[in-house]
Structure 1
């Protein structure tokens, strides 16, 4: 199972803060047309969900890529904490309730990977970067027990349910 350090979570929260500030239209604009502005954040949120799903027991190349991103984020964040503010790095406790993906759930993640790659390739540089940062943030925060780890269990249950109902009806 993947683990995350204080530095890794810090990197994930930094990405989250960066993208929310970049998206923030201002109070007046948000109140004027909230649906329009929320829709602009939706691709990032979907990419975040995809990133979080890749940390839930996925093996193979997708699991390797997710673990590599998490490892690099842990190292970057731990280094930044140590040299930036003098904080000693440390490992966070993993989620107490770990819900791994089933076989059909992993099939759903593979399908989502194909869609994610297509969306990244189709988008312009800004859109592609937004999707990549969303997935990166999901990978780093999806394994934490705190801020965003609460979403991992419902995401795994949803992927497993979709997979069970899709592939269970085929066979």
Structure 2
């Protein structure tokens, strides 16, 4: 019976301490509220900003459990913020648009060769990925990579043929000014 009395006495002590800690709360809330709607609190009794700020009707949106939070990037030294719009002000003038360069056979050949190079790198990467999937025994991934490789190789053949035709056209083209 002695242990039970100690537990009861300890619980009563914790309850009294909690009541004493919570007792002044309503008094603080009443002091923070103005006397009437629209009334201003007296200057002698400053009110913290948190007590005056209106409560939000909608809780702040938090990212979903698998979604990353938004990344805030600080401005770089060369960044220029847009100027604010002013009422009744004339619209701002845009920078002139540079003329588009002529899409000659040489230009198309250069772009086609660049795309061919990138696609060739992709084929090499996929072949390595297929080999890794085979060593792991991942048959589903091997099939996926094989399908991608087939598509890439067909596109590579098309690009090489196009490059051959463009090479001939570039030879017959007059030199650039």
When the two structures are superposed, what TM-score results if normalisation uses the length of structure 1?
0.24
Which of the pair has the greater relative contact order for Cα pairs under 8 Å at 6+ separation? 1
In terms of Rg, which structure is larger?
A: 2
